[in-house]
Structure 1
Amino acid sequence: MLRIYKRIRQTLTHSLLAVAATSPMVLAQGLGNSPYSALGIGELYSPGNVTNMGMGDVGISNANAFYLNLQNPALLARRGRFTIFEVGLMGQSKSISQTISNSLKSQSNFGANLGYLALSFPANSRWNISLSLKPYTYVNYNIRKVEAVAGTPYTAEYNYTGKGGLNKVTFANGFRVTKNIYAGLEGAFMFGNITNSSDARAVVSGSSDIRVTHLNRANYSDIVWKLGAAWRPKLNNTWTLNLGATYDPQMRVKATQTDIYQQTTLTGQAISLPDTLRLNSNAQATLPQQMHFGVSIEKGNTLLVGVDVGFQKWSQYRTAENKQGNLADGTNVAAGLEYTPKPTSNRYRDLITYRAGFQYNKLPYLAGGTQLTDVNGSLGISLPLGAYYVNHLTISLVGGQRGVLSGTQIKEQYVRIGLGFSLNDVWFRKQVVD
């Protein structure tokens, strides 16, 4: 038990140093500038860990004894006697482009963040518990728009900025009901804040410009739930079929909201007193119902191939002001595989795990009445570490594109990298005296 405490401390120290080294980027950018994060509650982080990320985020029906499953709480019960601690780091490089007035405008940016901290341990032979801290969404955008004022020789300038995001502290339980049937329950405390600001001014030559600024800040804090189930019937002595499902009910999340209008100069000096419409007023936002299903087939610990399908009712989303969020229902389809040459071998190269995946997402975002899509492919590798090779360093790489250069759509091409550490040990082991 002392060994894993030392490993956790070392990993935490190294991880926090890595995060601290990029803290301006982490706090300001999340995973980089994204104009679409202005919609809803922002961009959603990947639901799984770095291991799942390398195989298209497939993880609703499949689990591995050496890694945590953050997507289906029921599959925690497959972990057996091992206690596991995981750390994940995420980074993303992105190119954004849009056609404006028949001219192509583009920019590139990079962002990085702590992906998750998670700990799982057995309560008994049929019940496993996990605790995790994970960012759920991020908001980071900065948009400037200039257009002519109809009927005048003047132009108007509009600026829109946003930052913040939501996080989840999760307590999950997985139970082995019978030999092949599993059930899970996850409760999470969701918290965080999102700040959106906008300003407008008329560009008038020869006069002192006045900028009108609107600031909206919403602070969220509430409990959300998830249910999970899995069934693992054996097909024969070699192959096992895995079926899994999760359900996130529609939830009302408590919030407090502040709205302020003010006139300022171009340098930000106040011209008038703030006009406060709301100050920490109580509100509620509605998060949508989500359902995910997975099926996979595995050959021992050597080969696994799986497919996941998800449905998100984002049309149910309501803002903290109980207004429609102008979002559409989303769907996603993912396929992935995982291969370890010889998991019972003593040779290092036979224990390396390789992954590949593909994902097609129908996003909830609408641009000019067209619903955006996201298509990406992924690769991953896990390198065993430490005594008995039960610990792993995992690297996953995802490359994809969403949106196209058509109408008002913004095209985003991205490369996302994940770095994960999985540390395993046996806790609460009875001492044996010879």
Structure 2
Amino acid sequence: MLKKNNLTAYLIISILTITETFAQKESRLYGNSPYSALGIGDIYSGSSIANDAMGGTGLSFGNGIYVNTINPALLAKSRYVAFNTGLRGQYKKLSNGTLSQTDFGMNLSHITLAFPIKTKWTTAITMQPYSGVDHEARFTQTITGTDKSVQHNYKGLGGLSKAAVTNGFLVGKKLYLGAEVGYYFGNFTRDTTSRLLVTSEDFYLRYTDRVSVSGFEFKTGFAFQQKIAEKWNLNVGGTYELQSKLNGERIRSFTTLYDQGNGPKIIKKPDTLALYNGGITLPSRYAIGFSLESPYKWTFAVEYSRQDWTKYLNFDGKSESNLTVSEKFAFGIEYLPKYSSTKYLNQVFYRAGFQQVKTPYLVNGTHIKDNSFSFGLSTPLAYRSVSYIDLSLSVGNRGVIGNGLVKENYVKIALGFSLMDTRWFLKPKID
């Protein structure tokens, strides 16, 4: 009992600690990207690392060994206490055809604690990033009528995190239903700094726009499993996420800085230009998936999702012309050689996938697309263990060169841990 209590305390402390981590550093998950300047930034998938390796699929299938965070209904397949966490990162090269740069970002990607309430009911508590803003650009121009110059620097940082409570239920023998109640929170800071290149002692004029918002999210899910042969099932699953209204405040300020060679220092307190309340509206989203599954052997999956970002409203209550409909097509394969084998490699899950994403970004009349291939595996911590180490690698690109756009070639990496305890919630027996 003491061991279990200590583990419970550790998990609770971990969740409380990680709340601050997500709130402050979600934007460093994948590093600098000019496209994150649009809307609420890059939208993260919310999938587990095991699902990442299969092109992000997971709407219609699950084996109970890892916690399915894509479809709340399939949480009911997790019959033991499970603790899941991991790291995600990305190395990328950005190029506009003339200039290029490389960038790398990595951060804690999620933390999930799942536990069964009853035989056909499982609950999970999850913390993960939802979106990230991380971009910086600068250019220099000559002051008209002089030989002096001014350097402009545009920088954005921040994003949204999501804490959620999810419940999954098995209804009868084939139907799974689930619901998730989440809470979004976070802020976006966008700075415009002008540096007057007059002498070695430079002046900086900085305009800051900071938006802080929070609000609730609600998502439902279903999955149905039909046996079509002795060793094969045909599965279907889907989710629907309601439109969310996030409320908060916006503050605009102006600051003058002075640099004598030791870095910029504020000359006087920032002037508050405006402070008012408002909010943003996130559009609804739906997803549907099908899979052909031979349990603990083969899984073939295909999925589609859609979210209409023309219905997004910014803090001023207006839609944005550079946002459009986002769609994703994903395909995934999973193979387990022989779960009952005594050979370690026969207990390893091998995965591969592909996804094509039409992002929400519409820039200079071009709809930005993101294509990637993924590979990965899950290795047990020991022989016949239900605890696994998850690895995922994705290679892809986003955007195009030309028409004033930037192309990103990237490699995404992820490392996760799925730890399970099969002894929790078992009633002790006295001989």
Q: Is the shorter-chain TM-score for this pair beyond 0.5, marking a shared fold? A: yes
Alignment of 1:3-82 (within 5 A): 29-79=28-78, 81-82=79-80
Matched with 2:315 is 320
Matched with 1:129 is 123
Asked if the contact 2:129/2:161 (under 8 Å) is kept, the reply is: yes
Matched with 1:370 is 366
Taking structure 1 as reference, are residues 245 and 55 closer, same or farther at Cα in structure 2, changes over 3 Å only? same
Tell me, what secondary structure is at the counterpart of 2:346?
helix
Matched with 2:186 is 192
Taking structure 1 as reference, are residues 14 and 274 closer, same or farther at Cα in structure 2, changes over 3 Å only? closer
- Count of residues paired in the alignment: 424
Alignment of 1:265-414 (within 5 A): 265=258, 268-269=264-265, 274-279=270-275, 281-325=276-320, 326-386=322-382, 388-414=384-410
Asked if the contact 2:26/2:160 (under 8 Å) is kept, the reply is: no
Asked if the contact 1:127/1:174 (under 8 Å) is kept, the reply is: yes
Taking structure 1 as reference, are residues 254 and 295 closer, same or farther at Cα in structure 2, changes over 3 Å only? same
Question: 2:415, 2:304 → 1: CA distance?
Answer: 25
Deviation at 1:32, TM superposition (A): 1.2
Matched with 2:240 is 247
Letter in 1 for 2:324: A
Matched with 1:180 is 174
Matched with 1:111 is 105
Tell me, what secondary structure is at the counterpart of 2:122?
strand
Deviation at 1:401, TM superposition (A): 0.5
Question: 1:118, 1:3 → 2: CA distance?
Answer: 20
Question: 2:377, 2:115 → 1: CA distance?
Answer: 25
Q: Does 1:228 align with 2:224?
A: no
Letter in 1 for 2:364: G
- Identity across aligned pairs (percent)? 37
Where structure 2 has 5 or more consecutive residues not aligned to the other structure, the ranges are none
Deviation at 1:207, TM superposition (A): 11
Asked if the contact 1:4/1:424 (under 8 Å) is kept, the reply is: no
TM-score by length of 2: 0.90
Letter in 2 for 1:35: P
- Greater alpha carbon shift after TM alignment, 268-277 vs 345-354: 268-277
Q: Does 1:433 align with 2:430?
A: yes
Taking structure 1 as reference, are residues 14 and 212 closer, same or farther at Cα in structure 2, changes over 3 Å only? closer
Tell me, what secondary structure is at the counterpart of 1:235?
strand
Q: Does 1:88 align with 2:81?
A: no
Asked if the contact 1:200/1:211 (under 8 Å) is kept, the reply is: yes
Question: 2:104, 2:396 → 1: CA distance?
Answer: 15
Question: 1:261, 1:8 → 2: CA distance?
Answer: 47
Taking structure 1 as reference, are residues 402 and 27 closer, same or farther at Cα in structure 2, changes over 3 Å only? closer
Asked if the contact 1:15/1:87 (under 8 Å) is kept, the reply is: no
Taking structure 1 as reference, are residues 214 and 339 closer, same or farther at Cα in structure 2, changes over 3 Å only? same
Residues 138-184 of structure 1: per-residue CA shift (max 9 Å, x gap): 22111102346678876553211111221111100111122111111
Question: 2:130, 2:31 → 1: CA distance?
Answer: 15
Residues 383-412 of structure 1: per-residue CA shift (max 9 Å, x gap): 111463111011111111001211111111
Deviation at 1:323, TM superposition (A): 2.6
Deviation at 1:45, TM superposition (A): 2.1
Residues 353-381 of structure 1: per-residue CA shift (max 9 Å, x gap): 10000010001112211011001001011
Question: 1:27, 1:236 → 2: CA distance?
Answer: 45
Deviation at 1:12, TM superposition (A): 10
Where structure 1 has 5 or more consecutive residues not aligned to the other structure, the ranges are none
Letter in 2 for 1:38: A
Taking structure 1 as reference, are residues 424 and 274 closer, same or farther at Cα in structure 2, changes over 3 Å only? closer
Letter in 2 for 1:327: L
Question: 2:245, 2:64 → 1: CA distance?
Answer: 35
C-alpha RMSD of matched pairs (Å) = 3.0
